[in-house]
Every structure is written in structure tokens, then in C-alpha cells.
Amino acid sequence: MNYMMPVVNVIGGGFAGIECALFLSSHGIKVHLFDVQSDEKCNCDFCNGRSKSEKTLLLEGVLRKELLLLGSKLIKEEDRLASEGYIGCIAEKMLAYGRELISSSKNIEVFSAKISQLNPSEINVIATGSSTDKKMYDFLREKFGSMRLFRQKHICPIVDNIDKGVCYEKGDSLYIPLNYDEYLHFVNTIIKVLNRENLSYNHRFIRNTIEELACMGRDAIKNHAMMPIYIENIRRPYAVVRLSLRERGYGIEGISSLLSDTSQLEIIRSIKGLEKATLLRASTVKDSVFINSRFVINDFNQSLQDHNIFFAGGILGIEDYLGAIASGLYTAMNVNSYVQGKTMVTLPPDSLIGELSRKITNADFVKRSIYEISYNKNNFLESVEKTCSVSIEKLFNRSKESLIRFKEVYTNGKYV
């Protein structure tokens, strides 16, 4: 036991922060929770009217079962609401329930305050989400460096009506190889659109948008988002466009822009195979904060630079509340072990929650955008039947026994 640091500061009262605080308090650790509730509109699927594919629903069902088995407080409330047939925004109900549990916990003290500095002698969990305020962002940038922190969230365009005859298909992704002339036509189309837009002299482009990259040089977009890769039975192309399957249509990975929808569609249609594409969602850039996890944290969501700092939730690039809860629980387990001076936790490799936790630190965010791949869940299905007829229970049985053993070992003292 490290008696010099009896209190853990959890900064952020969203899904990850609440789950983390509740777990730590249930293990006898004093928690100071710093939470300034915002007026932001809920971004859950119900409030935004988004539909999900059966595969996504299947994987989310497995993750819920794993979190229930591990004792997640928030998922227990979601399960109760679902069993009662609640129709509405479950996300808001879960947050309200979590805040009730926090207010009634003797081990948690809540402070309504923004934090812009961290005491190096205290243990801190940063769970401020992607809407981290400027002062905290400035602190993180000073501590970890601007190259390890992202200020904007680049949202890629989603298109349909793709000529798959020119695409190489692998898994849920499509690859369009471009030769030099085809790539140059794409870049020249961007320049033509920019000249037509008649931007003011003092206009400043957002970093890493296609309009900024096109003005930096001929190969800037290729080196950022269209790196040539080996495609089976195809001579090495000059550039490659990567499209990933979404709920509807395909997202063009690494491409972001703040140009008008009409201009974006013109640029997209300059790409081979996308001449007749329809734009389901235009690209944009939102003001958000993420850390470049691969260079900031280790496998335990713990800072490589300062072991008293941990991360959880949206600041890791996680967008959905299930992933935020999972990361909050996983981080809390490791904080608990760290406080107790015990072995840090690694989740079973055959579990979905274990797979997701590893994606945070193992994904290559240098050449690909962090913002569009919160978690690449598809790899989890590579070794099983990829049909919607596969039940949640069947998939859950792949990890159930290993998670039960993990929980027994954790509870009986190997880790804590």
C-alpha cells in the first residue's frame, strides 16, 4: 500500500469517470471526483436517430454481457432499464443513476470545478472526454507535447454508389489503387475548387484537411491519408484510397474537409471508382481533444511519462458510451492495483473488452486518423462465423470462462 497517496482524483464525470469512481470507492479507495456538467446535447444513437447494423448490435451485446460479468455499475442499470422495456434515452438515465450512486457513496467527494493543473504527488485519472476544456488541453500539451495531442476531430465523408469493379476488397474495407495521373487529377481538382472558392488572403486552413494538404505540396495528401500499400496481384500503386464499411455506405479514411458539400462531392467524384458516388455525410472537423495513445500511455491506460496519471474514456478516442464504460472500468482496475502496489491488470485476450483495450495502444495513429476508429471491432470476428445468425450468447461463450477465471483471481487477491 502506498500510504502517501490515499486519494485518487478522477477528473471528469461522464461514463468513464463515473464507472471508474464507483469501482474505486467499492474497493475502499477515497475518490475526489471533479465534474462540471455541460449542456451538450446527448450524442447517443436514440437521440440522434441513428440505426446500427446487426453486426454492431451483436458485438455491443457481447460487450454488455462481459461488463455485466465484471460487475459494471452503469451496465447493470442499463440492463435493468432494458428488461423493464424502457423506451427513451437510456444514456441520460444511466448518467443520472451513476450520479445518484456517487452522491450516496461515503468514499466519493464531488467538486464542481475545472482542473488545469495536476499535483504530481497524487494519483489522477483524466476522464475529461473529447470536450476537454482549453486549460486542461494546454496543460496536457505542455506535459506531453503537441505532437502527442490532437485538438480537432476529423470526421470523414461517407459515400455510396461505389464502382467496386475497380476496388480491391479485404474484410470490411475497400482499396482503390491510383496511379500517378489519377492521384494528380484528384489533387488538381482540390486546387481548382479552392481557386473557385476565392478564399480571403488571411484565411487559415485547419490542419490535415485535404485543402490544407493540397496547398502544402503534391504528395502531402498521399503521405497523410493515401499511403501506397501492397495490394494482392496489383503492381504497387502511387497512392491508395481506403474506404471502411459503416452503418450506411463507406467512409473515406483520412479524408477531411471544411469545404461545402457540393465542393466535397466534386472532389470525391474525381477519384477513380467514385465518379457516380453519392454523399451520405459530408466531412467536417469538430473541436475535440484526444491523446495519441500509442505514444502517451502503456497497456494499462497509464502515462508512460508519469505513472501517477491514468486516462479513461473519450480522451482516448472512444466515442460510444459502452467503450467509455469499458475503459473506465479497466482503468479503475489498474489504478486499484497501482494504489495497492500489486500487479497491473491485463484482461483475457479472447474477450472483447480485452481486445478493445489493446486497440487503444496498438493502433497506428501516425498515418491514420485516430478520430474515425474509436475501436476496430471487426477483427474480433475474424475467427468466427461472420453472419447475423451468430447469437450474442455464442460469441459471449468464447470469453465467458476466461473472464470468470480472471474475476476470481482479481477478487481473491493476486491483483489486489
3-class secondary structure for 71-91?
CCHHHHHHHHHHHCCCCCCHH
Q: Is the pTM of this model over 0.75?
A: no
Predicted pLDDT of residue 143: 83
Q: Are residues 225 and 311 located together in one domain of the fold?
A: no
Q: Are residues 373 and 265 located together in one domain of the fold?
A: no
Among 262, 282, 302, where does a domain finish?
282
Q: Which among 90, 31, 58 has a CA at the least distance from the CA of 331?
A: 31
Q: Are residues 60 and 177 located together in one domain of the fold?
A: no
Q: Are residues 166 and 198 located together in one domain of the fold?
A: yes
Q: Are residues 165 and 36 located together in one domain of the fold?
A: no
Tens-digit pLDDT profile for residues 81-140: 888 888 778 888 999 999 999 999 999 999 988 887 888 889 999 998 767 777 787 888
CA atoms of 65 and 89, how far apart (whole Å): 20
Predicted pLDDT of residue 383: 45
Structural domain includes residue 19: yes
Burial class of residue 245 (count of CB atoms within 10 Å of its CB; 0-12, 13-18, 19+): middle
Tens-digit pLDDT profile for residues 330-387: 999 999 999 988 889 899 988 888 888 887 776 544 333 333 333 444 454 544 444 4
Structural domain includes residue 169: yes
Q: Are residues 161 and 217 located together in one domain of the fold?
A: yes
Predicted pLDDT of residue 48: 57
Structural domain includes residue 271: yes
CA atoms of 173 and 378, how far apart (whole Å): 10
Structural domain includes residue 416: no
- Could you tell me the CATH number of the domain that includes residue 110? 3.50.50.60
C-alpha angle 409/412/413, rounded to 5°? Answer: 90
Q: Which among 241, 310, 248 has a CA at the least distance from the CA of 24?
A: 310
| Low-confidence spans in the chain with pLDDT less than 70 | 1-5, 37-55, 130, 146-152, 198-204, 230-234, 287, 362-390, 413-416
- Could you tell me the CATH number of the domain that includes residue 269? 2.40.30
Predicted pLDDT of residue 101: 94
Predicted pLDDT of residue 45: 63
Predicted pLDDT of residue 149: 66
Domain extent, residue 161, equals 157-282
CA atoms of 208 and 156, how far apart (whole Å): 12
Helix (H, G, I), strand (E, B) or coil at 69: helix
Predicted pLDDT of residue 200: 52
Query: What's the number of domains the chain is made of?
Result: 2
Among 246, 267, 282, where does a domain finish?
282
Q: Are residues 144 and 233 located together in one domain of the fold?
A: no
